[in-house]
Amino acid sequence: MKQQKVKEFASLVQGSMSMEQYAAKFMELGRFAPHQISTEKMQAQKFQVGLQPWINIQVVYLQIENYQELVNVVAIIEAGQRGLTTHINLEKKRAYQFVVSGSLDNKRVMTEANKGKDIMIGGQMPSPIPICRKFGRKHGVECKLASRACFNCDQLGHMKKDYPIEA
């Protein structure tokens, strides 16, 4: 039984485990092979070798020789990656919110480059926004500048700049 745990420890890698799971498994199995991790440096090196490659690449140049310090750094890296992944997923969700069904072949995705332009949904172009006859821009509503209406309250006789500064 002990020899099996020693072998398991010798071949331990993070794989799909989270850093917390990997560290717990490392400490659990490390009890069976104290000769492999007898110093802080050996413990840190063994732990680092089993990390996922994308994490190992980020910590290898730091040359951390303390196990707990290495665990803390890896936890920060993993948390940052989770945050980045969450951010990327949110951006993807925003980008594809205008795509209703089917493939992306006949649809444009909302990006900064085409923000405000017509978006194709379901292969059909939405009805175009009317172009202002006076200024040649797409307003979507009556041109307030042409009618001289206030941009704040839509009433005539004053301008938005005449309003007191709102806190």
> By the 8 A CB rule, do 32 and 5 touch?
yes
Which pLDDT score, from 0 to 100, does residue 150 have? 76
- From its phi and psi, is residue 17 left (phi > 0), alpha (psi between -120 and 50) or beta? beta
Residue 120 pLDDT: 47
User: Any long-range contacts for 45-49 (C-beta under 8 Å, 24+ apart)?
Assistant: 47/23, 47/71
DSSP per residue over 13-25, as a string?
Answer: --TTS-HHHHHHH
Give average pLDDT by consecutive 10-residue segment, the chain, 167 residues: 92 92 94 92 94 91 92 90 77 59 49 50 52 65 68 74 63
Residue 106: both structure tokens together = 């006949």
Residues facing 156 on adjacent strands: 149
pLDDT computed for residue 82 by the predictor: 81
Q: Can you give the pTM of this predicted structure?
A: 0.51
